[in-house]
Chains A and B, each alone.
Chain A
């Protein structure tokens, strides 16, 4: 941009009014979006460092007058019953989400590759039936899946959640990854096979590294889906020691009192893994989304 702006010819369009109007409208929209996403997060953070009393004051204390980390201490202290629960829920969530992610990627990668490269009878039908699941809201499957899980003896196990999250996450994961494989020229694999690799090795050595952005995008997508899921976790699990975070956090609500700073601290802690994941892998993720969408 700067190189273009330096030339006198490019200076002219800058003065045109309509373009500037749109640019400012765009900026305004972005600011609104930023407020929309950031304000709840900031409010959550601010509330989590207030005392229980300060959190309930009206008019609200915008800035905590006596900030305290008591809520965090309580949550992270394994001696304390609240902390014990919280850490267990956290671990449960981490376990369920990680296993879901690993298994989803393990299934989605070969499936997407097959849909992209092989022509077999029923390929189109299968591909669209994979997507069919996404045309219904997830709640519709709650009761049938519960019956199924009971039949399989999986109620009250993390297995039931992992299976369910995979069912819901895989269609989009396969669709996303197929786009990536479609964009990797088939001649690369052919070259590798002629150069002496088996089909599988060509896939492993040449295609896999090139589809890494797609795989990472898929992994993040599966992880977040599993990490945030509430309704199935709420239905399939009843034993306290198995709950995942979204369900477990409910414990901060009770009939008479609600520990708002504790709830907010727990919510903030819950967002940490996702944020960390995003910060670390963000570069790939952004690249991934454009690379899968654009046909070269």
Chain B
């Protein structure tokens, strides 16, 4: 296992920057998730690390080797593909043996290693089958096995769970996490599912438009998103983001909505808002920090329930504050119906504030 360093990675297709100066340092044994919406450049970044597409700029180090110009086969990595990419004309055994054969291991070693990997993944009974005779979940295990059978410097995984059904996905998620913990393997894991990234990764690299938006631990990304993109992308349901205007109301700093309602700010938040480049400020609040009242409370904003989504443990509701929707959560036993008037109270200590022009977070302190 080894450290992987991406320095200023660039991949262009004509005038388009698919990967735009991305720098990420991954420590030995760390599990890093590259996460972002479709087309954000995460898979391209992974393919650059694998050497499947040529770099337009920047450096990639795996261990202490600069691998920019090395063939994939010489980078000593293993990869799991979204569509598994099992060799359809080979049995499971031969699929697992292939990477070892390519490295000219003695036959006895190959057999021992394949059997060991098969045992770990519980696919020993499938070794003589061909990929088309396997279920999706079994294929996924074989794909994982083909990566595990060697001892590569890093594992690259490209949305390995996205073709599985929901239940199996959760199960495999914990298995992959477990295997990472057991092997202390360096893993780069691409996913569009922020929940996967948050639950599995030591660190997550949130990407959008080819640009790295934030690279931090999931807890840090969740607690302190650096900009409105990260704030809206990480967390489910998404953080409510409301564009407002900073102003004063009888000498006290407030955020005003064009719809007429306003939110008084605590002194600390007033200082943060004062740092914005213009009066435009975007207010962010997660459902867990919003309190819903059935009657008017000082400081709470009046709104109207739009939809109610019970999930069992927790009930989500979309509430219109003027023209903007915020998502709030309630205990399931609290009765709430659409079109009901409610008052939403913001937790001043947990408000996210973003500069309306630059979309960057307005820092605390």
Contact = CB atoms under 8 A, between A and B. Distances in A.
A198 B73 CA distance: 7
Contacts of B98: 192, 195
A185 interface: yes
Contact of A206 (B52, B71, B79, B87): B87
A194 B70 CA distance: 11
A34 B224 CA distance: 76
A201 B72 CA distance: 13
A181 to B, nearest CB: 15
B310 interface: no
Interface in A155-203: 185, 187-188, 190-199, 201
Interface string B68-85: 000111010111011101
A46 interface: no
A210 interface: yes
A187 B102 contact: no
Contacts, number: 56
Interface string B96-111: 0011001100000000
Given A196-B99, A196-B102, A190 B83 contact: no
A190 B81 contact: yes
A153 interface: no
A67 interface: no
A26 interface: no
A173 B99 CA distance: 33
Contacts of A188: 85, 87-88
Given A194-B50, A194-B72, A209-B89, A187 B99 contact: no
B146 interface: yes
Contacts of B81: 187, 190-191
A193 B51 CA distance: 9
Tell me what chain B mostly uses at the interface: helix, strand, loop, or mixed: loop
Given A187-B85, A190-B85, A195 B146 contact: yes
Interface of B: 50-52, 71-73, 75, 77-79, 81-83, 85, 87-89, 98-99, 102-103, 146
11 contacts: A185-B83, A187-B81, A188-B87, A190-B79, A192-B98, A193-B71, A193-B73, A195-B146, A196-B99, A210-B88, A210-B89
Contacts of B79: 190-191, 194
A209 B89 CA distance: 8
Contacts of B51: 193
Contact of B72 (A185, A193, A209): A193
Contacts of B89: 209-210
Nearest to B80: A191
Contacts of A194: 50, 52, 72-73, 75, 77-79
Contacts of A195: 73, 78, 98-99, 102, 146
A284 to B, nearest CB: 14
Interface of A: 185, 187-188, 190-199, 201, 206, 209-210
A209 to B, nearest CB: 5
Contacts of B71: 193, 198-199
Contacts of B103: 196
Contacts of B88: 188, 210
Nearest to B73: A196
Nearest to B74: A196
Nearest to A191: B85
A210 B78 CA distance: 23
Nearest to B104: A196
A65 B50 CA distance: 76
A193 B52 contact: yes
Contacts of A185: 83, 85
A217 to B, nearest CB: 18
Given A185-B85, A196-B99, A190 B52 contact: yes
A107 to B, nearest CB: 25
A196 to B, nearest CB: 3
Contacts of A197: 73, 102
Contacts of B85: 185, 187-188, 190-191
Given A187-B83, A210-B88, 11 more contacts: A187-B81, A191-B146, A192-B87, A192-B98, A194-B78, A194-B79, A195-B98, A196-B99, A197-B73, A197-B102, A198-B73
